[in-house]
Chain A
Amino acid sequence: MNAPVRTANPKNFISGATGDWEVVIGMEIHAQVASESKLFSGASTAFGGEPNDHVSMVDAAMPGMLPVINEECVRQAVRTGLGLNAEIHKRSVFARKNYFYPDLPQGYQISQYDQPIVGEGIVTVEVGPDNKGQFEEISIGVERLHLEQDAGKSLHDQHPTMSYVDLNRSGVALMEIVSKPDLRSSEEARAYLTKVRTILRYLGTSDADMDKGNLRADINVSVRRPGEPLGTRCEIKNVNSIRFAGQAIEYEARRQIAVLEDGGSISQETRLFDPSRGETRSMRSKEEAHDYRYFPDPDLLPLEFDDAYVEALKADLPELPDEKRQRFQSDFGLSAYDANVLVSDREIAHFFEALARGRDGKQAANWIINDLLGALNKAGKPIEASPVSAHQLGELLDLQKEGVISGKIAKDVFEIVFTEGGSPREIVETRGLKQVTDTGAIEKVVDEIIAANPDKVEQAKSKPTMIGWFVGQVMKASGGKAAPQAVNDLLKAKLGIE
């Protein structure tokens, strides 16, 4: 199940002082599994709480404690594997990764090493849009996905001479999704990270909330001359925002190019991205790297399940973004751009489907993309907290379609509903925003405008587009309520334009 090999695309090249360079990126995404309790203990995974509120004897590594696998986490890992179009391993093995750290109570992390639960897969990523509004579709290989325990947290600012340890996160289940080194630009990397986050959220296998640290990435970056073998890589640890991921890659690629162009060489090392300075710095070199002494955890039997288990989970998967996008394009006639925007977030897609049902899909998409998302963005609200529901917006669209209000009034009513709430139909009714379709009333206004502006009437005879000015005046005079078609027809007749 290999993704096609990427061919070098000059569009992605970075030009250095001595010629072009290609950056090669691979990513390890750590996503917290959506589950009530931890990977091997019954303690809660709830965010927050006082330090050490959510710690069982197992999490604290008390003598004689044993891990017991949480089946929900296994289920979520398999579902994620299916969502990544990946091979599911019906037998996998938990291994111990041994190292000493105060927030690692066991002295080892239970992870998976040479026999992970999920093998190779493919993620389709839409990169863009470019300045023509076009997306480029690329296929990124997934190397593996494995389950592992999160560590606790050391608190160094609580006491003048001591460090404190908070084990609330200790033992929380993480999925590590390892990509192949298939990414070729910071833009692609951002798009890949975004896409994986979207898939996780569609599946509900992780809330993938980067602000809470529930999604983080370790990013491997190397540079090479186009067509040459892979260069030495550096790993940027624990990047916790998509924007930072882009910045870190840009900085790191240019740093490596500068070193190489100066005749230096890259040493394999782990680096940290400092968002305040926008740069990466060395954390430890390969020589200082730990020997983790991985070996199969003798407290846990190999993890085994059958085809029926996988098939049942597969049958139960929700529609994923790629399928949804295709359906939106074919069923609603949406452009690739519109479909991409709408499926980028499961909640937006839900909103769209609720709105578009029985209505014009294209119009629904425009309203969401141009009006709703803009207003939400300005208000700093996610779609889940939208003050305008799909039902309310639908009513608004219906009013417009029925000819009760004009497009312009519709925008005004949208503003009112967004800020004050209420039923669009009632608002139109009570505030007298109904479109005037009575030709007599409109004609009266048209006549007044024509009478008051003989010079413009004259000009319009030689320049028919001047009709726009008259339409504007009539609409203004009618408070926007005059039916635009009727205004147009009347003006044309009276001004003698054809």
Chain B
Amino acid sequence: MTELTALTIAELRDTLGRRQASAVEVAEAYVAAIEAANPSLNAYVAVTPDKALDMARASDARIAAGEARPLEGVPLGIKDLFATEGVHTQAASHILDGFKPGYESTVTANLWADGAVMLGKLNMDEFAMGSSNETSYYGPVVSPWRSEGSNAKIVPGGSSGGSASAVAAHLCAGATATDTGGSIRQPAAFTGTVGIKPTYGRCSRWGTVAFASSLDQAGPIARTVRDAAIMLKSMASVDPKDTTSADLPVPDYEQSIGETVKGLKIGIPREYRVEGMPEEIEKLWQQGIDWYRQAGAEIVDISLPHTKYALPAYYIVAPAEASSNLARYDGVRYGLRVECDDIIDMYEKTRAAGFGREVKRRILIGTYVLSAGYYDAYYVRAQKVRTLIKRDFELAFEAGVDAILTPATPSSAFGIGAMADADPVEMYLNDIFTVTVNMAGLPGLAVPAGLDSSGLPLGLQLIGRPFDEQTLFRVGQVIEDAAGSFAAPKWW
């Protein structure tokens, strides 16, 4: 029998169901794998082995009683952004030192209700702000991938770098993640994993530490398209505690996998052919187009003319919301407090010590763009751009396009520290293909499609109609079938 940690969620479901292994054995295997790997990869900021074993035991009892639920006994890693009752929940920030909530996020509660087992909390960029997982208070996450012939450490992408690295290194069967501008899809693409940012409103945001409320959306990172579909089915729900969550039934996403894509229209947006895009990315994209043509889909050229404004508009809207969302971390009620003689001093010293550089940068940008005299020039205009971007997509879908195919990232993963001296905007450019999707509130799926010349994974992105994740899974499976799966050679 193969190693238990090598099984996908779908395989694990069968293995556990047939009683070929117990949930406890699976949980133990993962705990052992984490213990061995985490010193090298730093994917977990907190491991909960006792909780994992307790939950696994309960799963075994359920399985024995013939009452297995959809994710019974499946061990998951949880991004540190999700509130988990009584467990480390700090958004990988110093300012939330010691914070253990007395409540459980809706997304994780949904997963536990479906039988999943918690392994621990995953590292991430501080408050989900970053594209390399280097802004974490707990230090950078290391990707299990390395360039051929090199021992240099590579970033897993961000902000869900811990989720991507843990999934790629088989330190969990699947992971929760969140995506505000690309934080699921970019790390998935960097690590050869599958990640989906569902439609805004598909998963409840309740109990998830907020970065930019109008853009934040939870989703899974998994090893296969099918696994991502299985996880999303459990994560998604309407939630009376989040009025922006969608009151729509959650389909059985897995069922759409394997359906033919014959006759579907795949849109290729010309504006995504950006200047200076590496030839390898161009080639990969063309490869994707060819796979769809071979599968019987119709390829249509489309135009999304406002794409070029998406990134600048995103870097107004997201920091604006963040500057307000992060105001609650003031040292008064929980987390870090730097004791001082007066309240203003306490605020200033606490926030100075508690937030890292990137978080501070975005709070400053956000505060600036919302200030009197600048609000109309920045925030209001950015919202108008957002409306135009949304309209671009609507027109494409109205014209009959079923899904849009783009590269997921403009490059493969880079080395840890490689961007340390770069202009922050260069780091922001990582999100160039993904932010439009958040601005429009659409679902986006990143699927591994190949390796670059140095052997690092590259991904393609599929963008779908609002609440049409089914089509994305169906279309995404085509790439997975054609490209195969990619596993990092184990070195840790």
A residues whose Cβ falls under 8 Å from a Cβ of B: 57, 60-69, 96, 98, 100, 102, 105-108, 163, 165, 291, 293-295, 298-301
Contact = CB atoms under 8 A, between A and B. Distances in A.
A94 to B, nearest CB: 11
15 contacts: A60-B333, A61-B333, A65-B207, A98-B327, A98-B370, A102-B330, A102-B332, A102-B343, A105-B328, A105-B333, A107-B327, A293-B324, A293-B370, A294-B375, A298-B214
A108 B324 contact: yes
Contacts of A57: 102-103
B326 to A, nearest CB: 8
Given A102-B343, A165-B332, A295-B370, A63 B209 contact: yes
B101 A62 contact: yes
B333 A68 contact: no
A280 B430 CA distance: 57
B328 A68 contact: no
Interface stretch (B44-52, B239-247, B283-291): B239-247
A295 B320 contact: yes
Contacts of A60: 333
Interface string B187-231: 000000000000000000111111011100000000000000000
Interface in B421-444: none
Contact of A62 (B212, B334, B343, B370): B334
A108 B327 contact: yes
B272 interface: no
A63 B327 contact: no
Nearest to A108: B324
Given A57-B103, A62-B334, A294-B370, 14 more contacts: A57-B102, A62-B333, A63-B99, A66-B206, A68-B241, A96-B324, A98-B323, A102-B343, A105-B333, A106-B328, A107-B324, A291-B372, A293-B372, A299-B243
B43 interface: no
Contacts of B326: 107
A107 B328 contact: yes
Given A64-B206, A68-B240, A96-B324, A298 B212 contact: yes
A107 B208 CA distance: 18
A224 B430 CA distance: 60
A60 B333 CA distance: 8
B347 interface: yes
Nearest to A64: B207
A181 to B, nearest CB: 23
B243 A69 contact: yes
B105 interface: yes
A92 to B, nearest CB: 15
Contact of A64 (B210, B320, B323, B375): B210
Contact of B330 (A62, A65, A107, A295): A107
Given A66-B241, A107-B330, A165-B332, A295 B375 contact: yes
A107 B328 CA distance: 5
B379 interface: yes
Contacts of A65: 206-207
A301 B324 CA distance: 17
Interface of chain B, helix or strand or loop or mixed?
A: loop
Contacts of A165: 332
Contacts of B214: 298
A195 B321 CA distance: 40
Nearest to B99: A63
B186 interface: no
Interface of B: 82-83, 89, 91, 96, 99, 101-103, 105, 205-210, 212-214, 240-244, 320-321, 323-324, 326-328, 330, 332-334, 343, 347, 367, 370-372, 375, 379
B343 A163 contact: yes
Residue picked from A65, A98, A108, A163, most chain B C-beta under 10 Å: A65
B475 to A, nearest CB: 30
A295 B212 CA distance: 13
Contacts of B333: 60-62, 105
Contacts of A108: 324, 327
A62 B103 contact: yes
B309 to A, nearest CB: 19
B101 A300 contact: no
A455 to B, nearest CB: 88
A295 B241 contact: no
B243 A293 contact: no
Contacts of A294: 370, 375
B90 to A, nearest CB: 9
A63 B83 contact: yes
Nearest to A99: B327
A66 B216 CA distance: 13
A163 B83 CA distance: 29
Nearest to B89: A63
A66 B242 contact: yes
Contacts of A105: 328, 332-333
A216 B253 CA distance: 55
Contacts of A68: 240-243
B379 to A, nearest CB: 6
A106 B326 CA distance: 9
Residue picked from A57, A61, A98, A107, most chain B C-beta under 10 Å: A107
A76 to B, nearest CB: 19
Given A63-B101, A98-B327, A301 B347 contact: no
A157 to B, nearest CB: 16
Contacts of A69: 243
Contacts of B347: 100
Residue picked from B96, B210, B332, most chain A C-beta under 10 Å: B332
B213 A98 contact: no
Nearest to B342: A163
Contacts of A107: 324, 326-328, 330
B321 A298 contact: yes
B88 to A, nearest CB: 12
Nearest to B321: A298
Nearest to B383: A296
Contacts of B105: 64
A60 B332 CA distance: 10
Contacts of A295: 320-321, 324, 370, 375, 379
Contact of A66 (B101, B243, B334, B372): B243
A293 B96 CA distance: 25
Q: 5 tightest CB-CB pairs across the interface, nearest first?
A: A107-B327, A298-B213, A293-B370, A298-B214, A61-B328
A353 B333 CA distance: 53
